Amino acid sequence: MTNTLDRRTLLRLAGASAGTAVLAGTTLAASGPAHAAAGAFRHGVASGDPLPDGILLWTRVTPVPEALPGSGLGPDVDVRWQVATDPDFATVAAQGVAPTGPAHDHTVKVAVTGLAPATTYWYRFGHGDGWSPTGRTMTAPTVDAAIDRLRLGVVSCANWEAGHFAAYRRLADRGDLNLVVHLGDYLYEYGTGEFDAGGTVVRPVVPEHETLTLADYRVRHALYKTDPHLQALHAALPWVITWDDHEVANDAWSGGAENHTPGTEGAWSDRVAAARQAYQEWMPVRFGADGTIYRRLRYGRLAELSMLDRRSYRSQQATGTAVDDPTRTIAGAAQLRWLADGLAGSTAQWKLVGNPVMMARVDLGSLPAWLLGPLGKLLGIPQNGAVLNPDQWDGYNADRDRLVDHLRATGTRDVVFLTGDIHTSWANEVTTRSTGLTNPAAAEFVVPSVTSDNLDDVLGLPAGNGLSLLGATLLRSTNPHVKWTELDGHGYGVLEVTPQRCRMDWYHLLDRTQPDSPSRWAAGFSVGTGSAKLRREDAPA
């Protein structure tokens, strides 16, 4: 039995006389594919990092029962792959054979080239007499293509023990998306019960202990890839993904992590190497020749997306006036220069930045020192005031100033940061000393967690409780550049990009612990071309 898909094309060409294209999506017609070889491909299929002439494809094969993830068992095998222009594979555009085995945990990654730009394709993998579930993907437009619209699903922070991934299902079922951007914490390293749903384990992880070894990380990746909602979204759309800290350990920095004890858990370098190897095996992500994950993708003249790595090069987190130390960095000199020069030199209308941790200031307890002047210096107040979370850009003020100053010096506009990590929803204008309070340099949209605990979960209170509402009110009142924040909702964002504006809509689940939880629209904000000031929007029609 073959998987049936909605036959509407993912790319609708419109306005032919004007030579422009509208990118739009379709939905899977079946919620669960049935195939003769489904047991061999039990972890689904995925695609990622689309280029105008190619796409990265991923799967994992279980050729024999004992070849379980992380086991190191099973034979080396060849896996067939096909890419077609139709869901029935009547017209095959590319095909080949990829070898895999226990050295790669039986994962398969194929960088397909020679494809047509801005084109919808279907793909599958074969082993023995059967085929995997069918996935659908699309290539990017050419660099100079005129695109009228691009829609992205934006997600972050999916904790297995804290709930089900209904947010992924809601995105998979929309039918109007072109791409999924995942901003990190795709999985969590904790042992069972260490980070759950406000004290309740909704579904236990494996391995039961904290992930430390290569086998541990492989098993944890495999567990996540069994989630039916995650499989559905991977099969429906290409993803662009970066990592944050929990792909290795909590609050990771270049030399360690809050959740790593060398005396009992081994060398940090060994743990990072194990986590990174499993990540490269299990994720549809292109890496640079030197192992870098920060990279750019282009969608015609409309948008360029820069995905950042905020863990591999950062200095250790600090507090007090140390957050102003110009020798400390969140990005590393090379990546920060790559980002700043790339944004300033981009010929795309919109410069989108996949940014794992929040860029905008959060001032608490005092005005920032750059407003207090000499008194702030005498009192030892950090430039950003009292720091709520030094793991964000607030803990690395010099890097933020360097980047914003570069944007201002080069006249770079239309920069939008897409951010995750803090499990809550925010619409921010990015300001620093050089911008003042009324002339922001960029916009920032922060999406909530898919499942990870938010403020109401930590408080043990219902969503929308008085303390959460008061907290949001205080944050906005002391931070005029924060135009909206909501501290309780779990869910996802949908970003619509047009030549005139970028608009983010936030959607929150009704109950993260329910596998098929509905979602509701929470808020919408947009930023127009030439301005970084945000505008509140009504619910989509």
Closest CA to 134 of 35, 27, 229: 35
Residues in the chain: 541
* CA distance linking residue 310 with residue 425, whole number of Å: 20
Residues 467 and 390 in one domain: yes
Residues 504 and 436 in one domain: yes
User: Coil, strand or helix: which one is 470?
Assistant: helix
Residues 250 and 298 in one domain: yes
Residues 448 and 506 in one domain: yes
| 6 has pLDDT over 50 | no
pLDDT at 364: 73
For residue 271, give the DSSP letter.
H
Tell me the pLDDT tens digit for each residue of 493-520.
999 999 999 999 999 999 999 999 999 9
* CA distance linking residue 6 with residue 9, whole number of Å: 8
Contact status, residue 159 vs residue 198, Cβ threshold 8 Å: no
Q: Which of 124, 140, 156 is the last residue of a domain?
A: 140
Tell me how far CA of residue 356 lies from CA of 80, 353, 457, 509, in angstroms: 35, 9, 22, 22
Domain that holds residue 33: 1-140
State the pLDDT confidence band at 385, using cuts at 50, 70 and 90.
Answer: confident
Rounded to the nearest 5 degrees, what angle is found at the Cα of 176, between the Cα atoms of 454 and 32? 75
* CA distance linking residue 525 with residue 426, whole number of Å: 10
Q: Which of 106, 140, 174 is the last residue of a domain?
A: 140
Residues 193 and 294 in one domain: yes
Q: Which of 122, 140, 158 is the last residue of a domain?
A: 140
User: Coil, strand or helix: which one is 223?
Assistant: helix
Tell me the pLDDT tens digit for each residue of 374-383.
655 555 667 7
Minimum mean pLDDT among 13-17, 302-306, 329-333: which range? 13-17
* CA distance linking residue 348 with residue 13, whole number of Å: 20
Residues 238 and 123 in one domain: no
Tell me the pLDDT tens digit for each residue of 256-266.
999 999 999 99
Q: What is the sign, positive or negative, of the torsion defined by CA atoms of 269, 275, 279, 280? A: positive
Burial of 277 from C-beta contacts in 10 A (0-12 / 13-18 / 19+): middle
Domain tally, the chain: 2
Residues 80 and 161 in one domain: no
Residues 447 and 383 in one domain: yes
Residues 128 and 202 in one domain: no
Tell me the pLDDT tens digit for each residue of 83-138.
999 999 999 999 999 999 999 999 999 999 999 999 999 999 999 999 999 999 99
515 upstream amide cis, omega within 30 of 0: no
Residues 152 and 131 in one domain: no
